[in-house]
Amino acid sequence: MEEEIRVRFAPSPTGYLHIGSARTALFNWLYARHTGGKFILRIEDTDPERSKEEFLDEILDSLRWLGLGWDGEPVFQSKRLDVYREFANQLLRKGLAYEAEGEIRDKEGNVIKDSERIIQKAIIFKVPQGRTITISDLVHGKIEVDSSTIKDQVMIKSDGFPTYNFACVIDDADLGITCVIRGDDHISNTPKQILFYEALGFKVPEFAHVPLILGKDRSRMSKRHGAISIKEYRQAGYLPEALVNFITLLGWAPRDNKEIMSIDNIIKEFDIKNVKSVNTIFDIDKLNWMNSEYIRVLDIDTLASLIKEFLDKKDLAGLDEVNLKKLVRLFTVRIKTLGEFKQEAGYFLNDDLNYDAGQLEKLTQKPNIKEHLTKFRDALSGLNEFTFSNTEAVLRNLAKNLNIPAGELIHPSRFILTGRTVGPGIFDIFELLGKEKVLKRFEAVIRSFY
């Protein structure tokens, strides 16, 4: 019988969940779901000064939003301090470790005096010399490290808390983790951890170190490249399905190189052994394109409901469900994120249009423009039913009577009604704005002509 695959994601609640960490969580989750294994969540909260409840809440909420449910209850390192000390004491008794006096410092780096806090002895592991430590990495292949390049390793600090390398080995062994999937910035930690596994008599798991995510200029990810938290992507109006699809392709690709994939297909095809060993590029333009593709295939009821969450009460004043759905349908192909809807459709949601002074000046200088717009306004005011077909008929008949191209009325009308020179079809704009708003905006601009 094959051994059950057990993987874990182990965030520290010292900050929000960002793209790099989200990818680590996703790759672990996908590997577990692909193999029918277990995805364990461990919270590495042994830094009491920096660990915050708000960060933990955001991490858990972001994982749920992305659809990355974990198996069982989360494990908290802060509740296992006695376990770490007992294993450290075992190594002390075997003569594989020693104690040393240590100093406790506050977050500013100042030594805390004995009177302020009891200083314990640190417990330090003796690194054996003359060893070649071999890592059989599922992504990078064979990696060898000479143990003489590794200094003795602190296991329990003088403040009583364990170090990262020591605690994670004990936790991974206790949880039965069979494969440790993490960023390749942890490769330097792996030989140290293998020494702990061996000294404690634990089975060494497999390791898979995933390469870095770089910006388009091939530098380390920063905010200008898109290195913001998952929470911020959510607040900007990205869909979780699109973000998961995009993150999956940061270092992995299906056999047919298809880009838009359902989560079921991703799970079916994903294998951690197929992750590329080279750094991957984060392309925000590609994410925006992918998100827009996901938006386009949503049914209108679902999309309208999602967009509604991004609008204020004043935006929705006077806008019933029917017209909201019409408006959403009009902009579905024009938005890349849900958050862009308010920006793109803003002239439907409020009357505060800020006309570009240069464009307005250009409009006033067109020959006979005031006369043409006045006649058009008067013709529109005579309509009882302000529909797409009726407003189109009025515009085209007037253009014919004035012996001018229809565009001579269409383009100025779009600018008057939206403050922009491009946008949806003008007759859709007429119908959705309604007679009262259309005439009001025409009147305001016509009055501004000298």
pLDDT of residue 340: 96
Residue 180 in 3-state DSSP? strand
- Tokens 């009882």: give the residue: 384
* CATH numbers and ranges of domains, the chain: 6-75+213-287 (3.40.50.620), 80-210 (3.40.50.620), 299-348 (1.10.8), 357-448 (1.10.10.350)
Instruction: Find all residues with CB under 8 Å of 304, minimum gap 6, and list them.
Output: 321, 324, 325, 328
Q: Is the confidence at residue 101, as pLDDT, over 80? A: no
Q: Is the confidence at residue 93, as pLDDT, over 50? A: yes
- Tokens 């008599």: give the residue: 201
Q: Largest alpha-carbon pair distance within the chain?
A: 102
CA distance 332 to 428: 14
pLDDT of residue 115: 43
Note the pLDDT tens digit of each residue in 1-55. Answer: 678 999 999 999 999 999 999 999 999 999 999 999 999 999 999 988 899 999 9
Query: Of 26-35, 120-129, 383-392, which range is least confident?
Result: 120-129
Sheet strand arrangement including 153-156: 97-101, 121-125, 153-156
CA distance 42 to 182: 13
pLDDT of residue 119: 57
Reference 96, options 204, 195, 203, 189; nearest CA is: 195
Q: Is the confidence at residue 246, as pLDDT, over 90? A: yes
* Average confidence (pLDDT) over 55-83: 97
Amino acid type, 406: A
CB 277 within 8 A of CB 211: yes
CA distance 139 to 184: 10
Burial 109-141 (b: 16+ CB within 10 A, else e): eeeeeeeeeebbebbbbebeeebebebebbbbe
The share of the chain scoring above pLDDT 90, in percent, equals 82
Beta bridge partners of 101: 121
* Average confidence (pLDDT) over 320-324: 90
The model's confidence at residue 120, banded by pLDDT at 50, 70 and 90, is confident
Report the predicted TM-score, pTM, of the whole model to 2 decimal places.
Answer: 0.90
Instruction: Find all residues with CB under 8 Å of 359, minimum gap 6, and list them.
Output: 415, 421
Helix (H) or strand (E) holding 101: strand 97-101
Q: Is the confidence at residue 357, as pLDDT, over 60? A: yes
More confident residue, 77 or 256: 77
CA distance 31 to 445: 61
Instruction: Find all residues with CB under 8 Å of 289, minimum gap 6, and list them.
Output: 336
**Which one-letter DSSP state was computed for residue 223?**
G
Q: Give the residue numbers annotated as catalytic, written as ranges.
A: 223
- Give residue 186's Cα distance to chain centre: 22
pLDDT of residue 223: 59
Report residue 135 as tokens.
């890592």
**Which one-letter DSSP state was computed for residue 229?**
B
Report residue 120 as tokens.
């314990």
* Average confidence (pLDDT) over 163-180: 97
Instruction: Find all residues with CB under 8 Å of 83, minimum gap 6, and list them.
Output: 170, 174
- Tokens 């965030």: give the residue: 11
Note the pLDDT tens digit of each residue in 70-81. Answer: 999 999 999 999
Q: Is the confidence at residue 138, as pLDDT, over 80? A: yes
Q: Is the confidence at residue 132, as pLDDT, over 50? A: yes
Q: Tell me the pLDDT of the chain averaged across its residues.
A: 92
Angle, in degrees to the nearest 10, between helices 426-433 and 435-448: 110
The share of the chain scoring above pLDDT 70, in percent, equals 94
Q: Is the confidence at residue 225, as pLDDT, over 80? A: no
Note the pLDDT tens digit of each residue in 388-405. Answer: 999 999 999 999 999 999
